[in-house]
Amino acid sequence: MGMRDIKRRIKSVNSTKQITNAMKLVSTAKLKRTRDRFERVKPYFETVNETIQGILGSASNIDHQYISEREIKKSLYIVITSDRGLCGGYNINAIKKALEDIEDKEKASFIVIGQRAEGYFSKRNYEIIGEYLHISEKPEYRHAKDIARLALQLYKDGKIDEIKLVYTEFASTISQVPNRLKLLPVSKQDEEQAEEKEFKYVSYEPSPGAVLDYLIPKYIESTIFGALVESAASEQAARRLAMESATDNAEEMIGNLTLSFNQARQAAITNEIIEIVGGAEALK
């Protein structure tokens, strides 16, 4: 590679580095806002979940449509990914988490959030019942409500027999873990956990079943919303990490190219000196 080509290459890589560094800074700012938002909404859906588990633990033999196990003929997967790329393995890891639970694609249907999930499953002819695009970075509660309404209606109509949510947990700024959570039918926690909630002596009016009719849809909505917000935080963390790595790689490439340029320039200077000395010797 000639010196001119090396200089052109350095300029190109430097421009890329400026872009990736800017994207890293943007993702860092978005990550902070999204994490703060997640911390605010987390207590709400945890409280709803504890209340539901309290009812299940204190009221025995409840026969309810959202609790009773069914023969699994078809499963619904709500898969949360991003609308954009450049976030490392964030999207493909969530998609893989859904796929590893599927033995027969004919027995699976999907509600997809994000263009990456929509593109993946539609190209492979999976059944997509609902799609929600351009909401992954800034989800609202109304989005979760719409998704929950669709999923619950399918469950009530008997078109699906279980609902599973696939999202990405925010473990830390450098670690995001794909997770699969069964939403329906609602499973009872083990007895030790149920006793810790201290719901044994609570009376539910008009009945535990009627309370569950109201609470479980709220639980589904709030869990989906929590997963949307947590996935948004994970997306920004993954993108920040990917852009930081890309920026570091660009700096390393610039360093190597600069070294190559300096070596080529030194070789050119040496050749010129040799030619001058050779010419001078020839004139003697």
pLDDT of residue 194: 45
3-state SS string for 98-151: HHCCCCCHHHEEEEEECHHHHHHHHHCCCEEEEEECCCCCCCCHHHHHHHHHHH
List domains and CATH numbers for the chain. 21-241 (3.40.1380.10)
From the candidates 31, 59, 67, 87, give the one annotated as an active-site residue: 87
Cross-sheet strand order for the sheet of 127-132? 127-132, 108-113, 75-80, 162-172, 175-184
Q: Which H or E run contains 188?
A: none
Q: Would you state the pLDDT for residue 193?
A: 47
Task: Write down the pLDDT at residue 51.
Answer: 76
Q: What string of pLDDT tens digits covers the 284 residues of the chain?
A: 678 888 888 899 999 999 999 999 999 999 999 888 888 888 887 787 777 777 776 656 677 788 888 899 999 999 999 999 999 999 999 999 999 999 999 999 999 999 999 999 999 999 999 999 999 999 999 999 999 999 999 999 999 999 999 999 998 989 999 999 999 998 766 544 444 445 454 566 667 677 778 888 988 998 999 999 999 999 999 999 999 999 999 999 999 988 988 888 888 888 888 878 777 777 76
Calpha distance 101→180 (Å, rounded): 9
Q: What is the pLDDT of residue 93?
A: 97
Residue 145: exposed, middle, or buried by beta-carbon count in 10 A (0-12, 13-18, 19+)? middle
Is-catalytic flag, 87? yes
